[in-house]
Structure 1
Amino acid sequence: MKDRRKEMAQQLLSRYYREGENFIMNIVTGDESWVACYDPQLKEQSKEYRHRTSPRHKKIRTEQACKKVMLTVFWDCEGVVHREFLPKGCMINSERYINTLRTLKIRLQRVRSHHPVFLLQHDNARPHTRARTIEVLSSLGFTVLPHPPYSPDLAPSDYYLFRHLKKHIKGIRYASDDKLRTAVSSWLRLQPVDFFETGIRKLISRWIRCIALNGDYVEV
C-alpha cells in the first residue's frame, strides 16, 4: 500500500512540474460526507446533569428527526461548482453518482467554460469505480486523476473542506434537516476564493511529504 501511495504521489507531482499552474487550476475534486445536526464541542456538552428524581427530558420531534445529512460537494480553485444533499431513504450507488456527475458536467460547462479540460479527483469508493461509472466518466470527458485507496490525507475534501466545515458547525444544535442544510449551504457560499485555492494547492506539499515518507500517511 505504501509503495502504491508513493508511486501515485510521484506521478501527480511529476505532472504538476511538467504542466505547472494549468494542472492545479483544472483539478475538480469531490466527495461525500455525513454532517451531524449536533456535534458537541466537548464530551461534557453531550452529558446532562440530572438528579435521580428529576423528570425525564423530552425532546421535540424535530430534534428526534434531525440526526445527520449526507453532503456531496465538488469544488476547485475558484470555489464550489456543485453541491447536493442526499434525500432521506436514498443511498449513493453507481447510478445516483452517475446522475451527479452529469449534473456536475453541466455546471462546469456553465461556470467554468474557460477551462479546457476537467481533471477529476475523487476517491475509490465503490460507486466511483464501478464499470458503468468509469464508462460514463469517459463519455463526459473527465480525466480521472489516480488516487490510492484509503488515503483521505491526499483528498482535499477530507483533509481540508469537510474539516473546516465541521469545525464551523461544531457545538451548534440544528433543530431540523432543513436548517442544517441551509447552514451548510450558507457556509460554502460565504467562503472566499482563496480558501478553496489554498485547499487544492495543499495537494502539492502533501504529495511531496508522502514521497519523503516513502508512502506513509501524511499528518496534518
Structure 2
Amino acid sequence: MTWKHPSSPVTKKFKVQRSAAKVIETVFWDAKGEILLNILPQDKCVNAAKYSSTLGCLRDAIRCKRPGLLRRGVVLQHDKATPQSARLKLQWLQRYVWEILHHPAHSPDLPPSDFFLFAPLNRHLGGMALENEGDLIGD
C-alpha cells in the first residue's frame, strides 16, 4: 500500500512480459558446414571444466564427421577467450597439436563468422519468437 495525495493521478499497472532469455551457443564449423553445435543451459556458465569438455566433444565430432581433418590439422578461431580458458587452450594445443587463428577483439576486419555463420543464422531465425531452448535446438 502506498500513501498519496487525494488529487494525485491513479498509478498505472504495466503489463509484465517475459524477457528475452539468452542462451550461449557454441558453434564449430568449417567450409563444409557445422561440425558441432553446443548449447549451454541458461543457469550455467562457461568455466574451465565446461570449456575442456566442449573441446573433447569437438574432437569426437571431428573424428565422426571429418575423419581426415585430425590428421591434416585443426585450426581454431577463438572469440572472447577468458583467462581460465587460456591455460586449457595451451594444454589442448600441446596435446593435440591444434593451431589457433588469432583475431584481435577490436579489429576493423570482420571475422569469418560474421559472413558465413551469423548472416545465414539471422536470415533463418529472423523474427522468430522461440518459447524455450528446445525450439532453438529443433530448428
**What TM-score does the superposition give when structure 2 sets the normalisation length?**
0.73
Does 2:109 align with 1:180?
no
Residue 75 of structure 1: aligned partner? 29
Work out which of the residue numbers 147, 162, 167 in structure 1 matches 2:118. Answer: 162
1:1-220, aligned counterparts within 5 Å? Answer: 64=18, 67-115=21-69, 116-126=72-82, 130-151=86-107, 153-183=109-139
For residues 150 and 95 of structure 1, what CA distance do their matches in structure 2 show?
A: 27
User: Which is higher, the Rg of structure 1 or of structure 2?
Assistant: 2
**What TM-score does the superposition give when structure 1 sets the normalisation length?**
0.49
Q: 1:123 to 1:180 in 2, by over 3 A?
A: closer
Cα distance, 1:124 vs. partner? 4.4
For residues 36 and 134 of structure 2, what CA distance do their matches in structure 1 show?
A: 18
Native 8 Å contact 2:22 2:42 kept in 1: no
**1:84-139, Cα deviation, whole Å (9 max, x unpaired):** 10012111123211211111011112221123211222234216852232112321
Q: 1:148 to 1:111 in 2, by over 3 A?
A: same
For residues 106 and 115 of structure 2, what CA distance do their matches in structure 1 show?
A: 13
Runs of 5+ in structure 1 lacking a partner? 1-54, 184-220
Cα distance, 1:148 vs. partner? 2.1
Out of 169-178 and 123-132, give the one that drifted further.
Answer: 123-132
**1:45-71, Cα deviation, whole Å (9 max, x unpaired):** xxxxxxxxxx96575xxxx37623211
Q: CA RMSD in A?
A: 2.7
Flag the structure with more relative contact order, 1 or 2, with Cα contacts below 8 A and sequence separation at least 6.
1
Identity, in percent, stands at 31
For residues 124 and 152 of structure 1, what CA distance do their matches in structure 2 show?
A: 16
Cα distance, 1:80 vs. partner? 0.5
Q: Which has the higher helix share?
A: 1
For residues 123 and 152 of structure 1, what CA distance do their matches in structure 2 show?
A: 15
For residues 82 and 40 of structure 2, what CA distance do their matches in structure 1 show?
A: 17
Alignment length (residue pairs): 126
Q: 1:140 to 1:173 in 2, by over 3 A?
A: same
